[in-house]
Structure 1
């Protein structure tokens, strides 16, 4: 039995709609506003959401925004209920990712037809969904699967070799393609007026980068530079845009990447704003060790300082303190974490 989450602040509409859905054989969970609806969705993911737009506490647009940023809820079929008929409202909802609209008042057949259509379409998409292991030749499967659904996808799988320290794109450039790291490491950086670098991201084997500017259709706000000799695949902008619209597996992969990117950037900014230097250095080392799976952290001290957002001399001094405390081991440019839990508490 499919579960439908119905978010509607009007009690009469909520009760009547719930009754129709239950008679049609659906399990229905109701919520009187967007905040309660999100909480119930997080507790138990629904198969489909029917959501009013104009509500107190959190409106329908806010609900859909939260769904799209949450890796668990992203991709859930989403139908808006609205009394508004202005084209701008329809366009805004569809741009945010709504799958369908029902304008109040609606009749029973219209409601059930919209639900059945959405559920059937998503079931078909789920049957063809593939989880891509991008580190184990997964790019080929990713593109091959997409190409079966998109005849115009470029067949060019050429590998581009990028030497260490070479720029791939610069801040202010127009995005022309999506990048995939076949081997090596790429850093993205922002540079202030004094020429000081701040590293905004590290991308290793099996990672995509450069997709944010493509999705937002704007100039790059940072630059990408090879940290070491690297090999990249290029996917043209037009192909990437068609992939997102034609293949649900591809679009869900990038929703997941974006959600992780936003959460990671928010945490990075929060730590930089309020964390002590020891906290920031510890968090950076732990991120490289756990999230990126680096058993031995091997970056130049300048690059590490750029990740932390501090002077190189301050970084070196803090690393020496961690070494004296027995938390890390340093051999040349390599760092090995000896006591992760104690390092995690080192800045508090």
Structure 2
């Protein structure tokens, strides 16, 4: 059963709230003032707190402020009870992180509805979703239930592409976000000088195409090509838009799931500006190893074009080849069938990536 902490200095009101919640099958903790409420909250970690604002000594605002300073209690949903109906009180409470307000006197169903909604929100936000097709579909289902409407379609199709098959081209109308269930994908752009610049090497569990869906022109900003037999889950742009713009909490949750590649792109730009070619080459090889493009065995991995590796590093092909040759001579990497790269000494390569 969910645990509710009620902080209310008026005995009659407090006992009435406790009775309503116990009849609704909640486990209820009660405190007659803010100080005791803080102690109970830290000791019991309730699922939600319902607190009066105007109380002698420590008021409701101070209770919320104090609990927000403790990482163990900062995320507990908080509902204020108030005899006032003033905008400044609402603004102050919301600025402190309150989730909802109830004005006295209130009906039992109003209290129960507010608690049910906030617990539902809390459960959704705390739930972890795996980066698998099943996990993504579970997220969409939970997000639809949380939003309380069938906003999200069920048209998330699995598509298969053969090696070197084009998924979309730079300038095409952007209709989908893609999730890699199996396989690997390279994304690249063409510079003004006509050279190909690799913008990403994506493996199983990665998303790509999200920046294009946020592009005002409505077109893909890059070209995507499968590097081997690849299976993708396509997420329609309409679903993406609803998740990003319909509700702030859902948006934050969704962006947290798909944001890895955005952060990685930013990191790449910093590396190009400040790291040596040798460091960037080591980082690129480690990244490719982490994503399964490079293996420790001659039988596995993906054929990485030296032009693509050079583009990832942000240097000329000849310079990239010289860095690879140096790594081979040091016994850090090898070359297997079809010129596939093999990682031989990860720890030494990591030291080069970290310290040059």
Fold conserved between structures, TM > 0.5: yes
Deviation at 1:282? 0.6
Name the structure, 1 or 2, with higher relative contact order (CA <8 Å, separation 6+). 1
Which whole-Å deviations, capped at 9, do the CAs of 1:266-296 have from their partners, x for residues lacking one? 2211211232221111110122234669544
Residue aligning to 2:17: none
Aligned mates of 1:249, 1:233 — CA distance in 2: 24
Matched, 1:139 2:136: yes
Residue aligning to 2:196: 197
Which one of 86, 97, 100 corresponds to residue 117 of structure 1? 100
Contact 2:133–2:233, Cα closer than 8 Å, also in 1: no
Deviation at 1:260? 3.1
Once the two structures are superposed, the pairs formed by residues 12-31 of structure 1 within 5 Å of their partners are 22-24=58-60, 26-28=63-65
Aligned mates of 2:56, 2:346 — CA distance in 1: 55
Which one of 335, 341, 349 corresponds to residue 343 of structure 1? 349
Identify unmatched segments of 5+ residues in structure 2.
1-37, 43-52, 78-85, 102-113
Matched, 1:211 2:213: no
SS at match of 1:181: strand
Contact 2:180–2:230, Cα closer than 8 Å, also in 1: yes
Deviates more, 1:172-181 or 1:121-130: 121-130
Residue aligning to 1:128: 124
Q: Per the alignment, do residues 45 and 289 of structure 1 end up closer, same or farther by CA in structure 2, a change over 3 Å counting?
A: farther
Deviation at 1:346? 2.9
Contact 1:22–1:28, Cα closer than 8 Å, also in 2: no
TM-score after normalising by structure 1 = 0.64
Which one of 320, 331, 345 corresponds to residue 315 of structure 1? 320
Which one of 47, 50, 59 corresponds to residue 74 of structure 2? 47
Residue aligning to 1:228: 228
Once the two structures are superposed, the pairs formed by residues 266-345 of structure 1 within 5 Å of their partners are 266-290=266-290, 295-296=295-296, 298=302, 299-332=304-337, 333-345=339-351
Which whole-Å deviations, capped at 9, do the CAs of 1:301-325 have from their partners, x for residues lacking one? 2322221122333222211211111
Q: Per the alignment, do residues 341 and 202 of structure 1 end up closer, same or farther by CA in structure 2, a change over 3 Å counting?
A: same
SS at match of 1:239: helix
SS at match of 2:214: helix
Instruction: Let me know the Cα RMSD of the aligned residues.
Output: 3.9
Aligned mates of 1:243, 1:237 — CA distance in 2: 10
Q: Per the alignment, do residues 20 and 262 of structure 1 end up closer, same or farther by CA in structure 2, a change over 3 Å counting?
A: farther
Q: Per the alignment, do residues 293 and 304 of structure 1 end up closer, same or farther by CA in structure 2, a change over 3 Å counting?
A: closer
Which whole-Å deviations, capped at 9, do the CAs of 1:33-85 have from their partners, x for residues lacking one? xxxxxxx98x959837xxxxxxxxxxxxxxxxxxxxxxxxxxx99xxxxxxxx
Matched residues, number: 272
Residue aligning to 2:162: 163
Matched, 1:182 2:181: yes
Aligned mates of 2:206, 2:129 — CA distance in 1: 12
Contact 2:99–2:118, Cα closer than 8 Å, also in 1: no
Contact 1:150–1:243, Cα closer than 8 Å, also in 2: no
Contact 1:170–1:224, Cα closer than 8 Å, also in 2: yes
Deviation at 1:21? 11
Deviates more, 1:240-249 or 1:185-194: 240-249
Deviates more, 1:322-331 or 1:111-120: 111-120
